[in-house]
Amino acid sequence: MSDNEHRQLARDSLFVMAELRVDGVDGEQRIRVRNLSSGGLMAEGGGHVLRGQLVWVKVRNIGWVEGSVAWVQDNRFGIAFREEIDPKVARAPVVAGEGTPRFVKPALSYVPLGELRKI
């Protein structure tokens, strides 16, 4: 049986940055999430992680998710989540809010030059 036949959860390929906390290590590390499913993710980058290590990943639009390192190969690793998530929520557009930086907020609507008023 191939590895693909062992997998039971559909995975979405994507490329987003995330934060990683590793049990026993101070601070957070930036990682690149390559694919995501309800039960886990594949990432690359960050510091050195070990199979079985307890970790937390800040998944976009979801927040911090607890899991453990399932496998490590070179600079890539898999994380199995403790509880399932909805991966579609992570793919949803980021909503502009009070704390959202201006460069990620939707553009202001276009106003023709003649319709501007002097302040």
43, 27 contact by CB (below 8 A): no
- The dihedrals phi and psi of 99, each to the nearest 5 degrees, come to -90, 5
3-state secondary structure at position 30: strand
Q: What is the pLDDT along the chain (119 residues), one digit of tens a residue?
A: 344 444 555 555 678 899 999 999 999 999 999 999 999 999 999 778 999 999 999 998 999 999 999 999 999 999 999 999 999 888 887 665 566 566 555 555 555 656 666 66
C-beta of residue 66 within 8 angstroms of C-beta of residue 53: no
Rounded Cα gap, residues 85 and 95, in angstroms: 19
Residue (of 4, 97, 93, 83) closest to 39 by Cα position: 83
